[in-house]
């Protein structure tokens, strides 16, 4: 497991614990549920599940030839979690103080999460291949190696 996949899994576990703590606090203080419910749901679904899925997918599905994409992995990790942290911090405050004018920041947070999903989809598009595609890539590579060796002779 490479470093960024490791970070995805660790961050996912942090969000799981945070979500569980919020869920427990709702039983202790039901009045908090009104403005922390969205944070609880996003920490559980986006924070835990999406980070876990992204980390495992990057780990389990390397590109053909075991080529890694650390730049795309890091970009996904940073944009997803920056957007999520902004949302977890700003949304409860926005619900308590609607006149604070945080709508633009919340839109920016959602945009960051969307960008992370698009980066992930782009990276996975390059990684998910069929056996027929792998054979074709192998034949092209072998043909290129033969042409390269023939030109050197």
* CA gap 125, 3 in Å, rounded: 21
Closest CA relative to residue 33, chosen from 110, 103, 95: 95
pLDDT in tens, 100-150: 889 999 999 999 999 999 999 999 988 877 778 778 877 888 888 877 665
Tokens of 89: 């911090």
Q: Please provide the size of the chain in residues.
A: 153
pTM (predicted TM-score): 0.82
Per domain, the residue ranges of the chain are 3-152
Closest CA relative to residue 53, chosen from 15, 20, 89, 9: 9
Closest CA relative to residue 110, chosen from 70, 139, 128, 83: 83
> pLDDT band at residue 86, thresholds of 50, 70 and 90?
very high
pLDDT in tens, 9-47: 999 999 999 999 999 999 999 988 888 999 999 999 999
> pLDDT band at residue 3, thresholds of 50, 70 and 90?
very high
What does 52-117 look like in DSSP terms, one character per residue?
HHHHHHHHH-PBTTTB--HHHHHHHHHHHHHHHHHHHHHHHHHHH-GGG--HHHHHHHHHHHHHHH
User: Which DSSP symbol is given to 50?
Assistant: I
């Amino acid at each position: 497991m490479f470093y960024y996949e490791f970070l995805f899994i660790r961050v996912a576990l942090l969000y799981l614990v945070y979500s569980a703590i919020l869920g427990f606090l709702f039983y202790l203080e039901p009045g908090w549920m009104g403005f922390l419910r969205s944070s609880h749901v996003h920490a559980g679904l986006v924070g835990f599940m999406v980070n876990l899925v992204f980390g495992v997918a990057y780990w389990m599905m390397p590109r053909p030839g075991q080529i890694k994409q650390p730049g795309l992995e890091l970009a996904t990790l940073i944009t997803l979690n920056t957007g999520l942290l902004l949302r977890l911090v700003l949304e409860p405050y926005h619900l308590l103080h609607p006149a604070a004018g945080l709508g633009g920041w919340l839109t920016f947070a959602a945009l960051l999460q969307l960008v992370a999903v698009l980066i992930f989809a782009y990276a996975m598009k390059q990684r998910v291949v069929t056996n027929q595609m792998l054979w074709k890539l192998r034949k092209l590579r072998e043909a290129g190696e033969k042409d390269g060796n023939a030109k050197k002779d």
